[in-house]
């Protein structure tokens, strides 16, 4: 296999790992009647897609608090019910991605434009599931 093919395979594996982590987080932590925080970034795309599937298939009644324009638009695409912190200040669980998590669970979040809102939503959450490739972990 040449270098270009190896790079493509590596990128495909990374994307599949992100999808697996996001789907696992939604399947493990989302229950009916929950208020959910929706993080931002590349992994949350897969989480919102899975959440949309579950809402449709299982008739889940969940309220979503997006942390960015991106997560709000994705939630709307999947017909998820939206709200904000002023209406729902107590969040059951937030699902978000992390750039790095070390062996003692220190994590690094990206420095994107939604970082402050992600931190505010996480602070108001009973639990946060940070996904990092294939390691969805709840704190």
Mapped onto helix, strand or coil, the DSSP state of residue 102 is coil
Cα 98 from Cα 128, distance rounded (Å): 11
Side-chain half-sphere of 1: how many Cα atoms within 13 Å?
8
**How many other C-beta atoms lie within 10 A of the C-beta of residue 102?**
8
Q: Tell me whether residue 118 is one of the annotated catalytic residues.
A: yes
Active-site option among 12, 49, 100, 118: 118
N-term to C-term CA, the chain: 41
The set of catalytic residues is 118
């Amino acid at each position: 296999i040449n270098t270009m093919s190896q790079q493509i395979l590596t990128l495909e594996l990374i994307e599949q790992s992100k999808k697996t982590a996001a789907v696992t987080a939604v399947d493990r932590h989302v229950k009916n009647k929950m208020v959910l925080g929706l993080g931002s970034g590349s992994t949350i795309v897969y989480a919102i897609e899975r959440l949309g599937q579950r809402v449709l298939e299982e008739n889940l009644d969940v309220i979503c608090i997006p942390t960015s324009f991106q997560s709000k638009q994705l939630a709307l695409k999947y017909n998820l019910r939206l709200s904000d912190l002023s209406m729902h200040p107590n969040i059951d669980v937030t699902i978000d991605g992390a750039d790095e998590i070390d062996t003692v669970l220190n994590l690094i979040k990206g420095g994107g434009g939604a970082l402050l809102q992600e931190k505010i939503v996480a602070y108001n959450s009973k639990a946060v599931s940070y996904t990092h490739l294939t390691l969805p972990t709840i704190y």
